[in-house]
Structure 1
Amino acid sequence: MDVVLPGGRDARGTLDEPNGDTTEAVVACPPHPQQGGTRADQRLTAVSKELRDHGIACLRFDYGEWDEGRGEQEDVKNAIQWARERYERVGLFGFSFGATMALCAAPEIEGLWAVCALAPDSGREGADAVAALDGIDSPVKILYAERDSTADWEPVVERAREHDMDIEGLSADHFFLGQSEKVAERVAAFFNESG
């Protein structure tokens, strides 16, 4: 199902729903739009499929017009707002730039089910994912690639450790090539375990 997100930006998404009714949904944030990141990203689609298999809806969306991270965080909040009007529990997932946007938007969103960040960057373009971790009051899982030379992930993992958050390193590069299903299983398991 195609979705137009609320707010003043032209941001659109795709809602993937499981068979049967559900009261739970996860909003999935794509990688950097200026580097070709869209809701069709293979990691997002794999996570969405796995979530559906666990009876959880997934809203994958594209950001509106590029706004150096500020508008993109607004898109995350608008996607959460859209999902909350339809589901009782709403979580947040993102990959790469999307993981950074998810972490940075999360402190301003009350009552999130949980937040899962795959290969987050510590932040640039008006976003500080390390500082954002201090303000998230939901369960958080950081999945990082041990051979990631693209994202500046170490400061995020270090701060997450200080907060005793769920952290898991996978033997992969930034793009988790050939490992989308493994990643999706970890993400879905985290949401299921986050009660």
Structure 2
Amino acid sequence: MPVAIPGGRDVRGTLDGDEDADAVVVACPPHPQHGGSRSDERLRAVSDALVGRAVACLRFDYGPWDEGRGEAADAENALAWARNRFDRVGLFGYSFGGAVALAAAERADPEPDAVSVLAPAPRAAGIDAEAALTALSAPLQVVYGERDETADWEPLVDLARERGAAVEAMPADHFFAGQSGRVGEAVGAFLAGRLADE
């Protein structure tokens, strides 16, 4: 289902799954200046895994490039849209989208019910993901590739471990080539488990 996210920027999304589901995950794509979009195969894999667990997924494209500030605002607006329609809301981001997700989650009121990030960098386009992760209290998962030489993931992984977050390593580079299904299952299981009706 196509979705237009309100908030003053041209932000479009696709809602996968049942729009009457109790829970949804908002999925933040990688860097738009490097081809990142809601069609990213890792976002699609996570969405497929969530929909298979009766959790909807909102994949969205950022509005016009705004040095990270606008992109974080886009994620906050997508979260607000989701909060108005679903009982429980999770947040996922890959690469640049991981930094965006952490920043948006930390600023959201209330915070998402669960957050998962894949191959995030501690800083991306003006976003301090390290500070956001430190301040975040929501259940958190960090998934990273052991051979990732693109994102400087070590500081975030160390911080996540210190705060007792779920941390999962995969034998992969930054792009998780050939492992999208495995990524989808790991992230989908974590988020669906935290968003289950209690």
Instruction: With the length of structure 2 as denominator, give the TM-score of the two structures.
Output: 0.95
Alignment-derived partner of residue 46 in structure 1: 45
Farther-moved stretch of structure 1 (54-63 vs 160-169): 160-169
Matched, 1:120 2:120: yes
Alignment-derived partner of residue 163 in structure 1: 163
Query: Deviations along 1:45-72, whole A, 9 cap, x unmatched?
Result: 1111110000000000000000010000
Query: Deviations along 1:57-98, whole A, 9 cap, x unmatched?
Result: 000000000001000000000000111111000000011000
Give yes or no for contact 2:24–2:88 (8 Å, CA) kept in 1.
yes
Matched, 1:55 2:65: no
How many residues are paired up? 194
Q: Percent identity?
A: 55
Alignment-derived partner of residue 178 in structure 2: 178
Matched, 1:87 2:89: no
Report the Cα distance in structure 2 between the residues aligned to 1:44 and 1:124, rounded to whole angstroms: 19
List structure 1 segments (4+ residues) > 2 angstroms apart after TM superposition: none
Instruction: Indicate the SS of the match to 2:167.
Output: strand
Report the Cα distance in structure 1 between the residues aligned to 2:135 and 2:116, rounded to whole angstroms: 15
Gapped regions of structure 1 (runs ≥ 5): none
RMSD over aligned Cα atoms: 1.1
Report the Cα distance in structure 2 between the residues aligned to 1:30 and 1:51, rounded to whole angstroms: 16
Instruction: Indicate the SS of the match to 2:124.
Output: coil
Gapped regions of structure 2 (runs ≥ 5): none
Report the Cα distance in structure 1 between the residues aligned to 2:134 and 2:6, rounded to whole angstroms: 28
What letter matches 1:82 in structure 2?
W
Report the Cα distance in structure 2 between the residues aligned to 1:164 and 1:8, rounded to whole angstroms: 37
Query: Deviations along 1:96-124, whole A, 9 cap, x unmatched?
Result: 00011001111111241100000001113
Farther-moved stretch of structure 1 (90-99 vs 125-134): 125-134
Report the Cα distance in structure 1 between the residues aligned to 2:35 and 2:111, rounded to whole angstroms: 31
Give yes or no for contact 2:105–2:111 (8 Å, CA) kept in 1.
no
Offset of residue 21 of structure 1:
3.9
Report the Cα distance in structure 1 between the residues aligned to 2:160 and 2:120, rounded to whole angstroms: 12
Report the Cα distance in structure 1 between the residues aligned to 2:29 and 2:168, rounded to whole angstroms: 20
Offset of residue 29 of structure 1:
0.3
Report the Cα distance in structure 2 between the residues aligned to 1:59 and 1:25, rounded to whole angstroms: 7
Give yes or no for contact 2:96–2:124 (8 Å, CA) kept in 1.
no
Report the Cα distance in structure 2 between the residues aligned to 1:10 and 1:16, rounded to whole angstroms: 20
Matched, 1:134 2:134: yes
